[in-house]
Chain A
Amino acid sequence: MTDLSSQSARSHLNRRNRHQTMIKGFGMAAIGFAALMLFILVSSLVSSGYKAFTQTHVTVEVFVDPAEIKPERLPRGGFDDVLLASLKTYFPEVSGRADEKALEGIFSNGAQFTLRDRIVADPSLIGQSITITVPTSDPFDQLAKDLVKRDTPEAQRRVSDREIGWFDTLDKAGAISEPLNWGLISNTDSRFPELAGLKGALMGSFWALLVCFVISFPLGIGAAIYLEEFAPRNRLSDFIEVNINNLAAVPSVVFGLLALAVFIGWMGMPRSAPLVGGMTLALMTLPTIIIATRAALKAVPPSIREAALGVGASKHQVVFGHVLPLAMPGILTGTIIGLAQALGETAPLLLIGMNAFITSAPDSPLDSATALPTQIFIWADSPERGFVSRTSAAILVLLTFLITMNAIAIYLRSKFERKW
């Protein structure tokens, strides 16, 4: 019999308690590490991305010179010269082709097209003075957002001292504004960061997810009902089950290879089309939906089935009239989570060419398009500085969609979940 109050026993106990404290400490440190990583991830995205939600604009008074823009030649005309003339009212001292070119660089490349569209829509503006607000080009946008530091040596800066002087003059004159950047949602992709937007990617993702849903939802539910409620327990159904579980763990890039070889190579479907993307995503979402549906069907208690069978319903009537409606909230939750995964999936879409540079939004699932995650990939690869914050902003848009979808799934689950 050991003496529990002896020195050795107490030190032994202390050691054991220290061991426990240590393990708890490790556990808390591990969770702390994960939380810290999540925090760094989100905060770095927000801090680099929020700046892309505004866009520096410059407002100028433009005299639509009939000498440069002739009604009969529309939509052609010297729109850039007219814009330059409007800037020269501020800076009459600028002359010479090279300097004028530099001054014109304040405007985004899309400015002349904004002006053109306005005049084409209303040719009576020719000969009048109109006020027009257009995005500035990327270097000046960076300058306005303080991403280009004024105290760095001029040689290492993307804007020269003279350009900063122009910008400040315009700023003092009240011509510079930083409104919300609706172009991020309403523009399509562009080589110029200040003009690039997500419209094409959003539409592409929409079509791809629609195709994915239309294919995977009925197929998944059908397969799950058969395997859970009807299939005899034999080798074949075992094989199918193992197959589905393995399919859920196949790397996504392999699905891309399958799509490339079968859908595009063999069936001759168009590259870069959301239809092909959606079909690929459907194959990947299928196992998720099947597994979720089976779990939801399993959760419906057997008493429901027995009661329905007892009053004379056929097996099909039991399943489709009673079990399936009760399992529907669980099935929908699983489907939404599966679609959210599909929305964030990138690798298979890269292989089928949904990372092309496309400047128009798709009107149908057969048009070439990008998707949100592939657009993020394209922008992350672009060398222009302005695309860094655009990429973060696009990621924030994608995360917003994912959070919304998951929130709907959680709401559905908590609202309709029944405890039997």
Chain B
Amino acid sequence: MTTSAFACLLVFSLIGYVWNRQAATAIRKDGARLHSLVGFHGAYSLLVVLVPALVVILLWLLLQGPVIDALLKSGLTSRLDGLGTGEVQLIVAEIKSIARGVVFGTPEPWKVDAAQHLVTLQMRAGQLLLVVVAAMSLALVVVSRRKVSAEFRARHGVERIISGLMIFCSVVAVFVTIGIVASLMFETSKFFAKVSFVEFLFGTNWEPQIPLREDQVAAEGAFGWLPVMLGTLVITVIALVIAVPVGLMSAIYLNEFAPRKFRAVAKPLLEILAGVPTVVYGFFAILVVAPAIRNFGQSLGLDVSPNTALAAGGVMGVMLIPFISSFADDALSAVPQSLRDGALGLGATRAEMMTGVLFPAAIPGIVGGVLLAVSRAIGETMIVVMAAGLIAKMTMNPLDSVTTVTVQIVTLLIGDTSFDNPKTLAAFALGMMLFIVTLIINIFALRIVRKYREAYD
């Protein structure tokens, strides 16, 4: 049904295009001077039909599911009364699978009836959509056809519609941000209704296990995010200890000392390192790096955990090398030539020119790049999910296993759908903290980078 609605929409808009275009051509043949080219008359009709009908179809598809669910449930009030949300969801899911023709065992007759009802509802919705779209398109085709005249400013109309569409496109990015903030806030507020804000912010115990059933004996669950944050910090620091010196030194060498040919090879090589997906780095960490570190540590008589923070942090550092080096390279290149010439003219060696003049002048840009790398490291997920630990400990020992905010988000949410227990909601609270921290760092970093760029322009 949806496909035929789209097809219907397409056909009507094309009819509108051809019809208006022919009408305009006829007017021009009669000797009148048209304001707009005939193509614009056609395009006007096309857009007038296409845009509103498309909006209707998309909104319809968006709302159809929830509305049909509500109708289905309202037909079953006598059966569903007094049941928990989880049970209701289960029954609805079962009815839906019966409606799709997937039947396990012999379902109760009222469920079969409900499935029948659901199928009818879905068919009605599809038919209704088709009728609405067809009627609307037809009306719009007729309306736009009646506008065709020599004086009609079809081009202006087309341009207005296109401008509107483009404004919509640019606002989507804002909507995405609003969507992120709103969804995180909504779920987080539900979380803080169950767990106190102070406990989350200052608690030093993170054990998000909760009893699944009422009678189950299990830990109550503790939601203090400090150990998780500490683990994130440990891994971030390890990553930066590797990425910052290596990235900066390679940028300095490439920018000032490397022969042109060497630079042409080395720079793409570094960029390959940036293009490798993080899941690949994660596998690299567990396949090669973690065993290597463990063996090396054991040969020194150290007790190294199998998923030591060094492995995850070290591999993350390798991932960030190209990030820092390209930012530093850009910052160094942005320093005006006159500063270089001045330093060299005073008799400085090139190394002195670099460390004494270029590097200090480029510091703001470099700091911005490092800050962006910090936010990348905090938000990086796959490497730590695969190579770091799951248990939150208050430790700063890099040989130990630590966990991070992103690891907890992923492990809390994998395979869990219900949003009504503190365990899943905790993931959203962590996500909120992650978003806020990275946002602050990003805004700060982008401001530094931008301000610095303006200084020499």
Chain A residues with a Cβ under 8 A of chain B: 16-17, 19-20, 22-24, 26-31, 33-35, 37-38, 40-41, 44-45, 48, 218-223, 225-227, 230-231, 239-240, 242-247, 249-258, 260-262, 264-269, 271, 283, 286-287, 290, 314-316, 340, 343-347, 350-351, 353, 355, 373, 376-377, 380-381, 388, 391-392, 395, 398-399, 402, 406
Shortest B350–chain A CB gap in Å is: 6
Residue from A27, A239, A268 within 8 A of B252 (CB atoms) = A27
Q: Would you call A345 and B277 a contact (CB within 8 A)?
A: yes
Q: Would you call B270 and A34 a contact (CB within 8 A)?
A: yes
Which residue of B is nearest A258, CB measured? Answer: B180
Stretch at the interface among B7-15, B211-219, B394-402, B411-419: B411-419
Across the A-B interface, give the 9 residue pairs with the lowest CB-CB distance, nearest first.
A27-B253, A251-B379, A344-B277, A222-B169, A20-B351, A30-B249, A347-B381, A226-B166, A261-B183
Chain B residues with a Cβ under 8 A of chain A: 62, 65-66, 69, 155, 158-159, 162-163, 165-174, 176-177, 179-180, 183-184, 186-187, 245-250, 252-254, 257-258, 266, 269-270, 272-273, 275-284, 286-288, 318, 321-322, 325, 349-352, 354-355, 372, 375-376, 378-382, 385-386, 406, 409-410, 413-415, 417, 419, 427-428, 431, 434-435, 438-439, 442-443, 446
Question: Contacts A27-B249, A37-B273, A251-B434 given: A395-B428 contact, CB under 8 Å?
Answer: no
Residue from A249, A264, A381 within 8 A of B372 (CB atoms) = A249
Q: Would you call B273 and A222 a contact (CB within 8 A)?
A: no
Shortest A290–chain B CB gap in Å is: 7
Question: Contacts A40-B288, A219-B172, A398-B280 given: A257-B257 contact, CB under 8 Å?
Answer: no
Shortest B386–chain A CB gap in Å is: 6
Q: Would you call B279 and A376 a contact (CB within 8 A)?
A: yes
Question: Contacts A20-B349, A246-B177, A344-B279 given: A26-B183 contact, CB under 8 Å?
Answer: no
Q: Would you call B250 and A31 a contact (CB within 8 A)?
A: yes
Q: Would you call A16 and B352 a contact (CB within 8 A)?
A: yes
Residue from A35, A225, A257, A388 within 8 A of B409 (CB atoms) = A257
Residues of chain A contacted by B372 (CB below 8 angstroms)? 249
Residues of chain B contacted by A257 (CB below 8 angstroms)? 180, 183-184, 409, 413, 427-428, 431
Report the bound CA distance from A182 to B327 in whole Å. 43
Residues of chain B contacted by A246 (CB below 8 angstroms)? 177, 439, 442-443, 446
Report the bound CA distance from A339 to B180 in whole Å. 22
Residues of chain B contacted by A398 (CB below 8 angstroms)? 277, 280
Q: Would you call B284 and A373 a contact (CB within 8 A)?
A: no
Q: Would you call B288 and A30 a contact (CB within 8 A)?
A: no
Shortest A334–chain B CB gap in Å is: 14
Which residue of A is nearest B268, CB measured? Answer: A410
Report the bound CA distance from A315 to B427 in whole Å. 48
Residues of chain A contacted by B277 (CB below 8 angstroms)? 343-346, 373, 398, 402
Residues of chain A contacted by B382 (CB below 8 angstroms)? 346-347, 373, 377
Residue from B166, B174, B417, B446 within 8 A of A271 (CB atoms) = B417
Shortest B172–chain A CB gap in Å is: 6
Residues of chain A contacted by B258 (CB below 8 angstroms)? 27
Task: Please list 18 pairs of residues, one from A and one from B, whose beta carbons are closer than 8 Å in the complex, sorted by A's number.
Answer: A20-B351, A27-B250, A27-B258, A28-B253, A30-B245, A31-B250, A34-B246, A44-B284, A44-B288, A222-B169, A227-B170, A249-B438, A250-B180, A251-B378, A253-B406, A257-B184, A346-B382, A395-B283
Residues of chain A contacted by B419 (CB below 8 angstroms)? 261, 265
Question: Contacts A316-B159, A402-B275 given: A34-B167 contact, CB under 8 Å?
Answer: no
Q: Would you call B166 and A225 a contact (CB within 8 A)?
A: yes
Residues of chain A contacted by B287 (CB below 8 angstroms)? 44, 48, 388, 392
Residues of chain A contacted by B275 (CB below 8 angstroms)? 340, 344, 402, 406
Which residue of B is nearest A381, CB measured? Answer: B386
Residues of chain B contacted by A351 (CB below 8 angstroms)? 409-410, 413-414
Residues of chain B contacted by A220 (CB below 8 angstroms)? 169
Q: Would you call A250 and B284 a contact (CB within 8 A)?
A: no
Which residue of A is nearest B380, CB measured? Answer: A251
* A-B contacts besides A223-B169, A226-B169, A254-B184, 5 pairs, CB < 8 Å: A20-B351, A31-B254, A251-B434, A254-B431, A267-B66
Residues of chain B contacted by A373 (CB below 8 angstroms)? 277, 279, 382
Which residue of B is nearest A43, CB measured? Answer: B288
Residues of chain B contacted by A30 (CB below 8 angstroms)? 245-250, 253
Q: Would you call B279 and A346 a contact (CB within 8 A)?
A: yes
Residues of chain B contacted by A34 (CB below 8 angstroms)? 246, 250, 269-270, 273, 318, 321-322, 325
Shortest A356–chain B CB gap in Å is: 9
Residues of chain B contacted by A347 (CB below 8 angstroms)? 278, 381-382, 385, 406, 410
Residues of chain B contacted by A27 (CB below 8 angstroms)? 249-250, 252-254, 257-258
Residue from B66, B321, B380 within 8 A of A268 (CB atoms) = B66
Q: Would you call A26 and B173 a contact (CB within 8 A)?
A: no
Report the bound CA distance from A151 to B264 in whole Å. 48
Residues of chain A contacted by B249 (CB below 8 angstroms)? 26-27, 29-30
Q: Would you call A253 and B170 a contact (CB within 8 A)?
A: no
Which residue of A is nearest B377, CB measured? Answer: A251
Most B CB contacts (10 A, CB to CB) among A48, A286, A376 go to A376
Residues of chain A contacted by B406 (CB below 8 angstroms)? 251, 253, 347
Q: Would you call A240 and B174 a contact (CB within 8 A)?
A: yes
Q: Would you call B183 and A258 a contact (CB within 8 A)?
A: yes
Report the bound CA distance from A264 to B350 in whole Å. 58
Q: Would you call A244 and B434 a contact (CB within 8 A)?
A: no
Which residue of A is nearest B372, CB measured? Answer: A249
Q: Would you call A254 and B252 a contact (CB within 8 A)?
A: no
Q: Would you call B442 and A249 a contact (CB within 8 A)?
A: yes
Report the bound CA distance from A242 to B447 in whole Å. 10
Report the bound CA distance from A178 to B344 in whole Å. 65
Residues of chain A contacted by B352 (CB below 8 angstroms)? 16, 19-20
Q: Would you call A287 and B173 a contact (CB within 8 A)?
A: yes
Which residue of A is nearest B65, CB measured? Answer: A268
Most B CB contacts (10 A, CB to CB) among A24, A287, A340 go to A24
Shortest A237–chain B CB gap in Å is: 8
Shortest B344–chain A CB gap in Å is: 12
Which residue of B is nearest A269, CB measured? Answer: B65
Question: Contacts A23-B355, A243-B173, A251-B434 given: A380-B250 contact, CB under 8 Å?
Answer: no
Which residue of B is nearest A227, CB measured? Answer: B170
Shortest B279–chain A CB gap in Å is: 4
Q: Would you call B284 and A45 a contact (CB within 8 A)?
A: yes
Q: Would you call B280 and A223 a contact (CB within 8 A)?
A: no
Residues of chain B contacted by A314 (CB below 8 angstroms)? 155, 159
Q: Would you call A231 and B269 a contact (CB within 8 A)?
A: no
Which residue of A is nearest B62, CB measured? Answer: A267
Residues of chain A contacted by B375 (CB below 8 angstroms)? 249, 251
Which residue of A is nearest B347, CB measured? Answer: A16
Q: Would you call B167 and A226 a contact (CB within 8 A)?
A: yes
Residues of chain A contacted by B180 (CB below 8 angstroms)? 250, 254-255, 257-258
Shortest A175–chain B CB gap in Å is: 33
Q: Would you call B413 and A260 a contact (CB within 8 A)?
A: yes
Shortest B389–chain A CB gap in Å is: 15
Q: Would you call A254 and B379 a contact (CB within 8 A)?
A: yes
Q: Would you call A231 and B273 a contact (CB within 8 A)?
A: no
Report the bound CA distance from A264 to B434 in whole Å. 21
Which residue of A is nearest B281, CB measured? Answer: A41
Q: Would you call A33 and B170 a contact (CB within 8 A)?
A: no
